[in-house]
Amino acid sequence: MNSDGDPEANYFFLQVLLQSMPNLATNMVMIIIVLVLLIFTAIVAGSEVAFFSLSAKDVNYLKSKNEGSNRTIIQLLEKPKKLLATLLIAHSFLSIGIIITTGLILEPLLDVLKNSMPSYGTLIYRFIQIVLVTFLLVLFGEVLPKVYATQNNLRMSLFCAPIINALNKFFAPFSNFLVRSSALIEKNINTKPSEISDEDMENAIQLTVGHSASEEEMNLIKGTLNFRDIAVKQIMRPRMDVHGIEFNSTFTQMQAAVLECGYSRIPVYEGTLDTVKGVIHTKDLLAYINSTNEDWHKLVRSAFFVHESKLIEDLLFEFKKRRIHLAVVVDEFGGTSGIVTLEDIMEEIIGDIRDEFDEDESDIKKINDHTYICDGKTLINDMCKVIDEQVEFFDEARGESDTLGGLWMELSGKFPVIGETATYKQYSFMVQELEKNRVKKIKVMIEPSA
């Protein structure tokens, strides 16, 4: 015994050593059993993360191989509830085994503590056992394997597949019973799924991918999320901006109108836009490019009419089904409100699409963080995206209007006059330029305090 040490402490550890000496071989076997159980616990815990984090690309890769562990993984994933039940049952059995085995190893410590501290020996023993077992299970049975499985899910799945498949067969009676029981409970409870608001969904997206996705990717995800709630009226080109061709025009007049418009699909009307006869495609005119007198009416295709309240999600399906790119929008009285194209729908998801024929000048010019100069025909929804405001913000004030010019008319209740301002909450709208009685330019000002 070292004279420099604490005699009582040295005596205590000597007692523990002497108590363990007769069962040294047994304790070594117990320690080996604990290590084996920890290894299997790590495999089960890592498998849970690895299997259920495989992407569609990983699954397709495994299906292409379709042999050995690859096939085993696909078979296990075909019954995910049974697989999860097997992993949970195996993890529970292994954890219980580790607790019991460590208790047997630490029994000599319990006897010594009882003799040394009769009042608190058992309590201290339990505390030591809980801390030790928790440390082993959490670090080696949870944290380390799950961290590795997160970073190497495919490799971990391939390595663990044979072991998990064996456990799946061994615990089949227990896992099948657990799956049937949970299904019965779910059926009896018959809970109604709660509706998730768009705001909650946006917050969830921000928490999950906000740290790794770029601003463009986040806008794309949010655009897809809001896609189902947008009506045709909110994105259509209003009637006053629609270029059409009079049905009674001559071939030469029609050619001039097509060249002036510069669009690939143009509505054909008779009298007014309320009587749309069809749509002409400029590509159909290529065969008659050198002609001067042809009956061009045979080239007019049937028009597709939609109501302005139709959701663009349904309209996109119709475009895909009919293989068309343009629809004429009508109001409740059957009059033409405007037109909507496939490009208009796609811009709601991926943002503004500009080609070589688009003008460089934007409809919205940013002067500073609180001031914008906009065209009167700018859609209110487009302005909301620029100022980072909810698209429903102006619903109480906009009435039937979809453009900033119409919003000014709704707010003021009179014909526009240059220099006059209409206000809604923290936003002010000043008429900058007129074209007859139509607002051509409007200044949008935001109160800095807001």
Q: Does the pLDDT value for residue 390 go beyond 70?
A: yes
Q: Tell which wins on pLDDT, 274 or 3.
A: 274
Amino acid at 82: K
Q: Tell which wins on pLDDT, 220 or 238.
A: 238
Residue 326 confidence (pLDDT): 92
**Which pairing describes strands 438-446 and 371-375: parallel, antiparallel, or unpaired?**
antiparallel
Domain boundaries 364-446, CATH class: alpha beta
Q: Does the pLDDT value for residue 356 go beyond 60?
A: no
Q: Within 10 A of 29 (CB to CB), how many other CB atoms are there?
A: 13
According to CATH, the topology of domain 228-350 is CBS-domain (3.10.580)
Q: pLDDT averaged over the chain? A: 79
Ranges 91-105, 159-173, 184-198, 250-264: which has the least confidence: 184-198
**What tokens appear for 73 in the block?**
């993984």
Residue 449 confidence (pLDDT): 64
What global pTM score does this model have?
Answer: 0.43
Q: Does the pLDDT value for residue 410 go beyond 70?
A: yes
Residue 2 confidence (pLDDT): 46
Per the DSSP assignment, residues forming a β-bridge with 326 are: 341
Residue 305 confidence (pLDDT): 92
Tens digits of residue pLDDT in 323-353: 999 999 998 888 888 999 988 888 877 766 6
Percent of the chain with pLDDT over 90: 5
Mean pLDDT of 216-241: 75
Mean pLDDT of 202-216: 64
Tens digits of residue pLDDT in 153-195: 888 888 888 898 898 888 888 888 888 887 777 776 655 555 5
Tens digits of residue pLDDT in 36-51: 888 998 898 888 888 8
Q: Tell which wins on pLDDT, 152 or 199.
A: 152
173 Cβ contact list (under 8 Å, min separation 6): none
Residue 117 confidence (pLDDT): 66
Mean pLDDT of 404-425: 84
Q: Give the residue extent of every domain in the chain.
A: 7-189, 228-350, 364-446
Residue 374 confidence (pLDDT): 87
Residue 7 confidence (pLDDT): 55
| Highest averaged pLDDT of the listed ranges 6-10, 215-219, 239-243 | 239-243
Mean pLDDT of 349-374: 70
Residue 194 confidence (pLDDT): 54
Mean pLDDT of 320-324: 90
Tens digits of residue pLDDT in 16-43: 544 444 456 676 788 888 888 889 988 9
Residue 327 confidence (pLDDT): 92
Mean pLDDT of 109-134: 72
